Amino acid sequence: MIKKVILFLFLFLVIIFVSLIIESNKEQKEMIDKGRTPIVKEPSEVESLVQLVFELAEKGKSMDVPFIVGQTDVQNVHKLWGMPEDKSEVSTAIYEDYLSENVTIGHRSNIVFDIRSSSLAIQQIHLEDIERIKGEADEIRSYQDDKVNQTILIYEVSSKYQLKWILPKVTESEPNPAVDHVSVYMEVEEETPSISDMSLDEKIGQMIFAGIDGTSLTNESKELISTDKIGGIIFYKENLKNANQTISLLNAIKAENEKEKLPLFLGVDQEGGRISRLPGLDKTPTNQEIGKQDDPVLSYNIGALLGKEMNAFGFNLDFAPVLDVNSNPKNPIIGDRSFGENAEIVSKLGIQTMKGIQSGNVISVVKHFPGHGDTAVDSHLELPIIQKNIKELYALELIPFKDAIELGADVVMVAHILLPKIDAKFPSSMSHTIITGILREQLQFAGVVMTDDMTMNAILGHYEIGQAAVDAVKAGNDIVLIAHDYQKVKSAFDAIKQAVHNGEISEERINTSVSRILLLKEKYKLSNELVKELDLKDLNQTIEQTIGK
């Protein structure tokens, strides 16, 4: 009797074991058929997995990833997977990490061109498995930094796609390393024209940020776009009467620019508080009020809100935040636009607002370098003079700008201030000593530098606009802002062009600035996409939620 029971139990266990093996094999096969990653246990399974990786790569696909390299728009990634846990920029490409999926998505010009997978199954494949099954790679590269020392095996799996296997470097202790991740990759051609494709007129046009008249597209505005090829347009309250008119104006400008090589910077002073140009929106607190709360989270949220407002109307560049330290209580121009008189608080809160604006894919312009907070004169009316030396600037005014540059500022606006102890001849916006010497060389700013409006009396009361524009470029500005008067824009354009022809400014100098401008437009993926509708009620509800009303 006991023998029969034992025999029965043995047969029962055998049946269960065989069933588990059959079921496991069935599951593995189903996963492979669906492009899902099986858990690798046997050499034959490793071979099947390697073959599958190659087969998918030939079609621009990777395991467990429902996207196709070269065909998927990054917006589709966001719709399906949401926003990434982490994000980084390499040259003109953006890489988004989906840690829960073990996938990194690389995109350029909104098109996915690189899918990197580090699934657990892929990490069970070893160097010898790849070489045994697929032979020697078409190319072998190395990559090393302070964190990794890697070998990259590159296989040209089709005329379009590369499959890259990334593994730790072979060592004596580990001659057969496991795969870290794979990359399915294709080259995506840049849509942005190179400097060599541009005429001198086109390049100079990119270096001018102009204002326009009226609330609709005029012939002068059309000429600025189609003839002068200007790089950007600034809008003021007189251009923006209500929400529908504002959207119609921007859409008309974008439509007019459709045939041009490059999209336009479309900018406005949307600082929050009393300097808010966009119509129909509830007010946000002034920077001074935010500074009194000293809340970095609030500052970031306000910045993100400003970015959302800009996007909703179709703008892509915000002349904000103000990083001036309001150290002079008699200051007639900064006042409550500043986060306060403490440089550390201005730096901390201003940078968070900057990052909030950038988070909405809107360009943030930090201003007014090297600091407008200790002036007693409005530069719209006259040229302010500050009797400070460089040591004194570093002790106060330059602190927020230095910190912002280190933490990702894209554009710095230079004020019209005369600092006789640093440059007795030129105001800061036209000073080689201040722009190239301090901002570029000492603070190591590599982004775009632009002047404040050159039609302010601080400049026009002392200089002719054409020569002032030339001096501004010679000083190191990439963009000259001429916010009023079409003829002044033309005069500035003609003067810069003549300065190049007579050798006062080299074309290489022009190319340097235009390269920075093109990189910035590419980084933020500027386009001529029209705004279809605007929900003011939703925006105002967001404002109320953000400021805690």
Catalytic one among 97, 126, 294, 380? Answer: 380
Catalytic one among 269, 452, 453, 478? Answer: 452
- Is-contact 105 82, C-beta < 8 A? no
> Is 452 among the catalytic positions?
yes
- Is-contact 218 211, C-beta < 8 A? no
Q: Decide: residue 21, CB within 10 A, 0-12 exposed, 13-18 middle, 19+ buried.
A: exposed
Give residue for tokens 């998918």. Answer: 56
**How does DSSP classify residue 195?**
G
Which residues, including other chains, have CB under 8 Å from residue 69's CB and lie 6 or more apart?
Answer: 60, 61, 112, 113, 114, 115, 161, 184, 185, 186
**CA dist 26 to 55, 70, 120, 396, Å?**
20, 33, 20, 70
**How does DSSP classify residue 259?**
T
- Is-contact 183 116, C-beta < 8 A? yes
Amino acid at 452: D
Per DSSP, the residues of 102-132 read TEEEEEETTEEEEEEE--TTGGG-BHHHHHH
Amino acid at 300: Y
Q: Where are the beta strands (DSSP E) in 386-537?
A: 411-414, 448-451, 480-482
> Is 501 among the catalytic positions?
no
Cα 430 from chain centroid (whole Å): 27
Q: ω before 462 within 30° of 0 (cis)? A: no
Question: Phi then psi for 194, rounded to 5 degrees?
Answer: -85, 165
| CB atoms closer than 10 angstroms to residue 420 | 12
- Count Cβ neighbours within 10 Å for each residue of 159-193 and write b for 16 or more, e otherwise: eebbbbbbbeeeeeeeeebebbbbbbbbebeeeee
Q: How many residues does the chain have?
A: 549
Which residues, including other chains, have CB under 8 Å from residue 518's CB and lie 6 or more apart?
Answer: 192, 193, 195, 206, 262
- Is-contact 212 187, C-beta < 8 A? no
Catalytic residues: 380, 452
